[in-house]
Amino acid sequence: MIEVKSITTTPEEVRDFDGGRVEIVWVGGTTVVRATFEPGFRWSDSLGPKVGAKSCHLQHTGYVVSGKVCFAPDDDDSDEVVLSSGDVFHVSPGHDTWVVGDEPAVIIDFTGDDHLAKMLEWSGT
């Protein structure tokens, strides 16, 4: 069996939130999220107040399609990391995230259903 869906032309769900948007498809038992973060987006400012947290407590495994995004771990022993187009990443829970520069950052996140449910709850939609 081959299952094909388009996150670009026919996402199964679309959610907008302050400073961004997520488009979602479910394929092969996996949730795939394309997240677009606008310039000025910062997790701790846009989504943190909705959940009463200063940082994101979810892990992320993904790919940067375009733009630049910075991940800053809560851990004082870890440095901020700026990711750009073509980077593949895994980020542990406990981090802040923001767009670097004046271009939207687009990432594909393959983290899964529990992650999605929490993200949609945070988006207020």
The model's pLDDT over 98-122, given as tens digits with 9 standing for 90+, comes to 999 999 999 999 876 555 555 556 5
- pLDDT, tens only, 21-39: 999 998 888 889 999 999 9
pTM of the model: 0.86
Boundaries of every domain in the chain: 13-106
pLDDT band at 59 (very low <50, low <70, confident <90, very high): confident
Rounded Cα–Cα distance for residues 60 and 63 (Å): 10
Rounded Cα–Cα distance for residues 24 and 79 (Å): 30
13-106, CATH topology level: Jelly Rolls (2.60.120)
- Collect all residues with Cβ–Cβ distance below 8 Å to 47 and sequence separation of at least 6: 17, 18, 56, 122, 123
Closest among 97, 84, 85, 123 to 40, alpha carbons compared: 97
